[in-house]
Amino acid sequence: MGSFCLLRSRCLPRQVGLPLVMHRQYSLDISAQLLRTQGYVNGQWINAPSTFPVLDPATGEEIAKVADCGPAEAKLAVDAAYKAFYSWKQHTAKERSVLLRKWYDLLTLNKEDLAKLITFECGKPMKESLGEIAYAAGFLEWFSEEARRVYGDVVPSAAKDRKILLLKQPVGVASIITPWNFPSAMITRKVGAALAAGCTVVVKPAEDTPLSALALAELASQAGIPAGVFNVVPCSREKTPSVGTVLCTDPLVGKVSFTGSTATGKILLKHAADTVKRVSMELGGHAPFIVFDSADVDKAVAGAMNSKFRNSGQTCVCSNRFLVQSRIHDCFIEKLGKAMDAELRLGHGSDPNTTQGPLINVRASEKVEHQVMDAVSRGAKVLRGGKRLDGSFHQPTLLADVTTDMLCTREETFGPLLPVIRFSTEAEALAIANASHVGLAGYFFSQDVSQIWRVAENLEVGMVGVNEGLLSTPEASFGGVKQSGLGREGSKYGIEEYLDVKYMCFGGLTP
C-alpha cells in the first residue's frame, strides 16, 4: 500500500505563547488510499464541477482540494441510497452486524492514519485524535452488536381470535449532517445506528473536515458495505445551504440527523417539517460545572481540566460556566491555575508535547477574545492567559470574579476560556446553572450523597457527570433537553431513532 506525504512548509510568526515547535515543518504522511478528495456516491468516487480547499488550522496551509458537491450530487446520493435501501433492509440483522464489525476492525487497524487526518484538518493533538478514533470505532462495535437486539413485541389481545404484534422496521434513507469537532465519531455514532437498523445514509460532513468522512467511506467500501448504503457528499461553506436543503426536503429521505448549532438546527427542522420527516438534533450546550464545599478539590480540578480543555474547549459537552462554592473557591482557583501551568502546552497537534491545538479558524479565536474583553470590561480578572495569538490560536484563559451578566456566562464559548463564578448556596448554584435555554450536559463535584441526588435530579440537562468530567461512551445515551436537541444517540436508545413501530393485527384465528 502506498503512502501520501504532504509537507507543511509554512512557519508561524514568533509570538508570545506559541512554542518554537511552531516554526518546524510538519507532514501528513498517511496511506494514499485513505486520502480521498472526491465525493462517494453509490460505491463510486465522483468529481464535482469545482473543488474547495481544506486547511490545516494550525498553519493556515492547504492540505487538499476536495470535490465541492452541490444539489445535483446530493440528489444523486439520495437516489442511490433510496435504491439501496430496498436491498439493504432485506439483509438479516446478523449480516449487517458482521459488516459493521468488519468496518470497526478496519478503523482499528488504520487508527494511526485516521488520527493524523483529524489532527491536520481539525487541529487536535495526536493523543486526542487517537482517542477519537477509538471512540468512533466503539460506536461501530456497539451497533454491530445492537443490530441483533432490535426486538418487537407480542401483546396479549383482548379478543381470543386475534394476535397483536408490534414490529420494528427501518425508517428509510437518513441524511446525516455532522460537525467538524469530532469528524469521525459524529459520523459513526449516527451511521452505526442507522445501518444496524437497516437504513441507508447520505453523509454531509463539515466543510472544515471532509477528509475524515471520505476516509471512512474508503474503509466502508473495504469492509464490504454495499454500494449506495453509505454515501458522502462534501461541500464548501457556500454550497452547504443548498445541499442541506436537498437532504432535508427530498421526499425520498425519511430521517434527518444533525449535530451542530441550535440556530442551524432550527433551520433544518423547518425544512424537514414540510415532509414530516423523523429528526434527531444534537444541538448547542452551555454546560455548568459546579464545585460544592464538600468536594474533593483535587479531583474537581482534574475534572475541570478534562472537561474544559479537551479539544481546546471545542466540544458541545465541555464545561462553559464554572460555579465554585465560597469556602473552597480560593483553593480551587489556586490549584486550577497551577494545573493549567503544568499541563497545557500550545502547538501543532502532531507534536507529541502539544496538549492545546488551534481553534478551528480565526473566527473561533476572535469569539473567545471578544468574550474575554467583555468579561474584563465588566470587572473580571485574568489569572491565566487572556490573549489571542497568531492565526487561530488562543491562550488557555482563567477568569475570576465572573458575574452572570458577562457574555461568557450567557452564550456558548467553544474555546479555551474558563470563567469562575463564586456562589454561596446550593439553591443559588442550581438557579444559575438552569438559567439557560439549552441543557445538554452538566457536571458537579460533591461528596454529600443527599446533595448528589438532589442536584443530579434538578439540573436541567440531558447528561450529568457526578464527580466526573468526561462522560461520553457508546454504551450511554447522548442528548439534551430544552433547545439542546431532540432524540438520543448511542446506547440501546440510539438505534430506536432509525426505527418505525408497525402494529400488525393477526385476526380470524380459531381459539
- Per-position pLDDT tens, the chain of length 511: 344 444 343 444 334 355 544 556 778 899 999 999 999 999 999 999 999 999 999 999 999 999 999 999 999 999 999 999 999 999 999 999 999 999 999 999 999 999 999 999 999 999 999 999 999 999 999 999 999 999 999 999 999 999 999 999 999 999 999 999 999 999 999 999 999 999 999 999 999 999 999 999 999 999 999 999 999 999 999 999 999 999 999 999 999 999 999 999 999 999 999 999 999 999 999 999 999 999 999 999 999 999 999 999 999 999 999 999 999 999 999 999 999 999 999 999 999 999 999 999 999 999 999 999 999 999 999 999 999 999 999 999 999 999 999 999 999 999 999 999 999 999 999 999 999 999 999 999 999 999 999 999 999 999 999 999 999 999 999 999 999 999 999 999 999 999 999 999 999 999 8
Location of each CATH 3.40.309.10 domain in the chain: 287-473
Distance CA 177, CA 280 (A): 10
* CATH tag, 287-473: 3.40.309.10
When computed from its CA atoms, the radius of gyration of the chain, rounded to whole angstroms, is: 24
Distance CA 403, CA 309 (A): 21
- For domain 39-283+487-500, give the fold: Aldehyde Dehydrogenase; Chain A, domain 1 (3.40.605)
Distance CA 203, CA 74 (A): 9
Dihedral sign from CA coordinates of 131, 136, 141, 142: positive
Residue of 73, 282, 369, 489 with catalytic role = 282
DSSP-derived letter for residue 505 is E
Taken as a whole, the chain contains a residue count of 511
Residue of 122, 248, 316, 318 with catalytic role = 316
Strands 499-506 and 163-170, by their bridges, are antiparallel
Location of each CATH 3.40.605.10 domain in the chain: 39-283+487-500
145 is known as an active-site residue: no
**Closest among 403, 371, 373, 400 to 384, alpha carbons compared:** 400
- Helices (H) and strands (E) in the chain — how many of each? 14, 24
Residue 401 sits at φ, ψ, to 5 deg, of: 60, 40
Q: Under 8 Å CB-to-CB from 408, ≥6 apart: which residues? A: 320, 321, 371, 372, 374, 375, 399, 402, 417, 419
- Longest CA pairwise span in the chain (Å): 86
318 is known as an active-site residue: no
Give the three cell numbers for residue 266. Answer: 432550527
CA triple 68-73-78, angle to 5 deg: 135
